[in-house]
Amino acid sequence: MKGGELLRIHLIPPVMHRECPAVGRRHLRQEEDKLLSDLLSGANNKNREPGRAEGRRECDGRCCTSSEPGAESGIPFLLLNLFALRSIVSFHPGSRLLHPRHHHDFHSDWIRDDRRRLLPQYRSEHLESAIPAPEVTKIALKLRHLIELAVPCELDEVEITKAHSKIITTKVVKAAKEAGGSHYGSCVVFCLIVCKRWFKHQALAELWDADLHRVRAVACEVIAKQIIETEDDLQYLMHSVLLRRYSVVVDGEATPPANAIEKAVDLHAVRVIGSSGYQKCISYLWKGWLVQDENDPAVFVDYKDKTNPSFLVHMDPDRIRAPMYQNATQVLISLIYIGLYTAVINSVNAKGVLDAAEVLLYIFTLGFICEEVTKFWKAGYHILGFWNAFNGVLYTFITLSLILRIIGLTHDEGEPARKMYSELSYNFLAFSAPMIWSRLLLYLDSFRFFGAMLVVLKVMMKESIIFFALLAVLIIGFLQAFIGLDLADDLVADDITFIMSAMANAIMQSPDFDGFDRFSPPFGIILYYCFTFIVMVVLLNILIALYNSAYEDIYDNANDEYLALFAQKTMQFVRAPDENVYIPPFNLIEMIVICLFWWMEKSKFEKMSDVIMGILYSPVLVVAAIFETRSAADIRSNRARGEEDDDTIEEWEQMMDQVDFESDGWNKVCTSAKTNLEHDPTIYEVQQLRGEVEELKKMLVEISKAVSAGNAGNGQASTNLIDLGEPAESSSSKKKNKKKGKKNKKEKKAGDDAKEAAAAAVSSSSSDEE
C-alpha cells in the first residue's frame, strides 16, 4: 500500500456532514472502501457491497433519513477487516468520527465505536465527559444530601453568605471536597452548580418550600466559591476544575458535556462567577492565553507563544480567535458601519441610483443577516434574546429600504413612481438611525460603565413585562367598549382612529377628553375617565415601583452582575464552533471560500485560509502583535520574580522588598492586636470569664484542703499531749488555743463565703452565655 494513499484518509474534508450529511458519508465511505480494497486485494469480490457503491452515486435528499440498500450485507465484511484497518490508521492523534446522532450510519454499537476511533474528523462535535457520567451524578447526589443536612430549615440568606458563617463552616466545605474522593475531586464545583440547578427547579415545583430550596441553592454557590478561592494550584483549578467537561445522567442518558465556566454562566451563578479563581480563568480566556486544542475542542491548553517576544510570531491569523481581538474587530466594524450609514443618509441621491457607500452599507447588512441566520441554524432558539430581536428589526428596515430602492430603479428616470420609491427608501433609512447607534452598545458592554448600564436596562425590561401584559388586557377591553359605543350610535365604526389616538395619548400622560361626549353619553366619557385613571394612576405607578425594585437589586450587586455579563460575553466567543473566524461582513467571503474546501486538501485549504484571514485582519493583527510583544516581556519579568503571569506591580508593592516585618517584630505586634473574626466577641468574653472562674474554683479548693489539713494537725497534737501524761494546760495556753479555734472558724467561714461567691459567679456566667 502506498504512503500517499494511507495519508489521504487523513485529508478527508472534516466537516462535510455539517453541510450535507449524505455527501459527507459518501466521500468517507468511498475512501474507506478504496483503502479496504488495497488492504485485502485478494479478498472475494462478493464482499465488496456493490449495491451500496451504486446506491450512493447521487444525493437525492432521502439518504439522510433512511437506510441504503444493501447495507446489511457489508456488516460481516467490516467486522472481519476493521481490526486490520485500525492497526494502520490508529496512529493519527486527531482521529474522530461523525457525530453519534447519525445512528443510521452504523448498524451496531460495536462498529460505531470502532469507526469513531478509525475515521478522522477535524474538530469533532462529539464530546465526552472527563469522568463517567454515573460517577459525576453520584457525587452530585452526595453533595445534595450534605447541603440538605447543613441547611435543614429556612434561614436568612445573610446567615449563609456572611463571612465566617455558622452554617457553611470550614467543616462543611471540607466535606464537600471529600465528596469526589481522591480520583474525582475535580468535578465537585461542577456538581455543586448542578445541585444549584436542582434546588432552583425544586423551588419552582414545590412552592410551599420555595424559600428553603432557594437558600440551599445559595449554599451551593457559597461552597463552590470557597472551594475555588481556597485552591492554591492554579493549573489544576483552571484545566481540571473549571474548564474540563463533565456530564450527569438524566432520564437514563448522559447530558451534553459542559464545564463549570459554562454552567455558571448559563445558570447565572453570580457568586461563583465573582470568585477570584473564576475571574482569573475568564481573564486568561479573554486574552487568548487559554485556547482550545485543535484536535480536541473539549480540552483547553496554554497558548505556547505568550512569552515569545518575536513580533512575527504573534502575527498569526489564529490569534484573531481570542475574544479580546474579536471584540475589538467587531467594535471597529460597527464604527465603519455607522460611518457608512452617516455618509448615505447625509448624501441623498435624487436620481435614486445606488452609490458606493450605499452598496457597502447593504453588503455589511447582508453579512450581519447571514450571521444571525447561521447562529439560529446552529444553536437553535436558545440563543434568541433582546439583541437578536433588536437587530432583526433594524435589518428588516434596511432590507426594506434596499427593496424599495430596487423597485424604484425599475422605473424610468423622471417618473413619479421612481421618485416616490426613492423617498420612501430614504425614509426607512432615516427611521433606522436611532437603532443603528444603539446597536453600538452591544459591542461596548465589555467596558464596565456600559456593561453595568446594560445590565440595569435588561432587568428593567424584564420587570416591565408585567406592566405591558396588564396594559394589553386593559387596552383590548376598553377598545372593544369604545368601538361598541360607536357602533351603537350610528351602526358604523368610523371613529376607530380617533379612539386609538386618544387611548395612546392617555398612556403617554396626555389624555384628550374632547370628542368622547358623543359616544352614547354619558357612557363614553365615563369609560375614558376610568381608562385614564387606571393607566395614569395605577399602572404607571406599578411600572415605576418595578423599575425602582429592579434598579435597587442590581445596584446592590452591580459588580457581580457586571462580571457575569463579561463572563457571558467571553463564553460567546469561546463557544463559537468555527475553526476559522470570519467576522461579518467577512463571512460573505467565507461562503465563497468554503466551496473550495470540498475539493482541496486540508493542509492547502488551511494555508489559503490563513493567507485570506491575514489580509483581512492585518490592521488588527499588527496592533495585537505589538500588544502581545509587550505582554510577553511582562510575563517573563513576572516569572523571573516568581509571580503569576498577569501580575502587576502596584504602588504599595514597589518597596516591599526593603521591609521585613518578621525581623523587626511588627508582624507579632499586628498579630496580637488583630481581632479574631472567627469567634463572636461576646462569646469570646464569656469563654474567657468561664476560664477565670474555673481557675478561682481550683484555688478555693486548694485553700479549703489546706485549712482542713491545718485543723486536723492541731487536733492530733493535743491528743498526743494528753496520752503522754503532760500536765494540764495553763489558763494562758487555753486562751491561746481558744483564739486559734476562733481564727480557724473565721478562716473556714471565709472559705465558705468564697465558695458561695464562686458558685454565684458560675451561675451568672452561664446565664450570660445563654
Q: Could you please report the per-residue DSSP string of 423-473?
A: HHHHHHHHHTHHHHHHGGGGGSTTSHHHHHHHHHHHHHHHHHHHHHHHHHH
Is the CB of residue 317 less than 8 Å from the CB of residue 613?
Answer: yes
Q: What's the confidence (pLDDT) of residue 379?
A: 75
Say if residue 241's pLDDT is above 70.
Answer: yes
Say if residue 74's pLDDT is above 50.
Answer: no
Say if residue 428's pLDDT is above 50.
Answer: yes
| Nearest residue to 285 via CA among 321, 313, 310, 316 | 321
* Segment of 53-57, 74-78, 552-556 carrying the highest mean pLDDT: 552-556
| Nearest residue to 460 via CA among 549, 393, 537 | 549
Q: CA-CA distance, 423 to 391, in Å (whole number)? A: 23
Q: What's the confidence (pLDDT) of residue 198?
A: 95
Handedness of CA 572, 578, 581, 583 (dihedral sign): negative
Distances in Å between the alpha carbon of 689 and those of 56, 760, 763, 768, 769?
Answer: 90, 13, 12, 10, 10
Distances in Å between the alpha carbon of 209 and those of 196, 214, 216, 661?
Answer: 15, 9, 11, 53
pLDDT digits (tens, 9 = 90+) for 528-566: 899 999 988 888 888 888 888 888 877 778 788 889 999
**Confidence band (pLDDT; 50, 70, 90) for 120?**
very low
Is the CB of residue 227 less than 8 Å from the CB of residue 189?
Answer: yes
DSSP 255: P
Look at 335 and 748; give whichever has higher pLDDT: 335
Q: 302: which strand partners?
A: 290
Looking from the CA of 457 toward its CB, the CA atoms found within 13 Å total 12
Say if residue 745's pLDDT is above 90.
Answer: no
Residue with cell 448522559: 254
Phi, psi of 182 (to 5 degrees): -85, -15
| DSSP-H helix ranges across 108-244 | 109-118, 133-150, 157-161, 170-177, 188-205, 210-229, 234-236
Joined together, the cell numbers standing for residue 519 give: 359616544
Q: CA-CA distance, 221 to 191, in Å (whole number)? A: 11
Q: 162: which strand partners?
A: none
Classify residue 381 by burial, with Cβ atoms within 10 Å: 0-12, 13-18, 19+: exposed
Whether omega before 256 lies within 30 degrees of 0, making that bond cis, reads no
Sequence-distant (6+) residues with CB within 8 A of 577 are: 123, 125, 378
Joined together, the cell numbers standing for residue 436 give: 443603528
Sequence-distant (6+) residues with CB within 8 A of 12 are: 27, 28, 31, 119, 120, 121, 602
Expressed in angstroms, the distance from the first to the final Cα of the chain is: 88
At 302 the three-state DSSP class reads: strand
Sequence-distant (6+) residues with CB within 8 A of 74 are: 47, 49, 52
pLDDT digits (tens, 9 = 90+) for 376-400: 888 777 778 888 889 999 999 999 9
Joined together, the cell numbers standing for residue 523 give: 357612557
pLDDT digits (tens, 9 = 90+) for 275-315: 999 999 999 999 999 988 877 777 888 998 888 888 888 88
Q: CA-CA distance, 550 to 264, in Å (whole number)? A: 22
Q: What's the confidence (pLDDT) of residue 756?
A: 59
Classify residue 158 by burial, with Cβ atoms within 10 Å: 0-12, 13-18, 19+: exposed
At 246 the three-state DSSP class reads: strand
Look at 152 and 554; give whichever has higher pLDDT: 152
Sequence-distant (6+) residues with CB within 8 A of 638 are: 644, 645, 646, 647
Say if residue 649's pLDDT is above 70.
Answer: yes
**Confidence band (pLDDT; 50, 70, 90) for 637?**
confident
Degrees, nearest 5: CA angle 467-471-475? 175
Q: What's the confidence (pLDDT) of residue 477?
A: 92
Q: CA-CA distance, 762 to 754, in Å (whole number)? A: 12
Say if residue 759's pLDDT is above 80.
Answer: no
Q: What number of residues does the chain have?
A: 770
What amino acid occupies position 147?
A: I
Average pLDDT over residues 192-218: 93
Residue with cell 494511507: 6
Mean of all residue pLDDT scores within the chain = 77
Look at 473 and 742; give whichever has higher pLDDT: 473
What amino acid occupies position 320?
A: I
